[in-house]
Amino acid sequence: MPENTLTTITDATFDELVLQARRPVVVDFWATWCPPCGPMSRVLAELAPEFDGQLVIGTLDADQNPVTTMAYRVLAMPTLLFFRDGVVTSSIVGARPKSVLRAALGNVVTPYVNR
């Protein structure tokens, strides 16, 4: 389950929170029936303070938000989509350890900071 330090994203808020965001956004597509999704969301919540003010980490319940899930062809859970200026720049499908997630988030922030 997503933690409070993460931004909850829905079909209704996706455009505003992701596509129009001024900072990079990472969207964690998850589902309640997905065993690795809970631990992955908790790891993202633990990492969120390290990237505060640099990017937005959001969670989207795929079952509750089928429009966005289908629009981005998310077929496996968990899936992370990395957005910059409203465009998907990369993705991670499946659970990953904290070190891999930290590096992936850092890669999103570094080019943004050096612009």
CB 29 within 8 A of CB 58: no
Catalytic residue, chosen from 11, 13, 34, 42, is 34
Burial state string for 60-80 with b = 16 or more CB within 10 A and e = fewer than 16: bbbeebeebbeebebeebbbb
State yes or no: is 34 an active-site residue: yes
Catalytic residue among 37, 56, 60, 105: 37
Is 37 tagged catalytic?
yes
d(CA 108, CA 44): 14
Q: Catalytic residues, which ones?
A: 34, 37
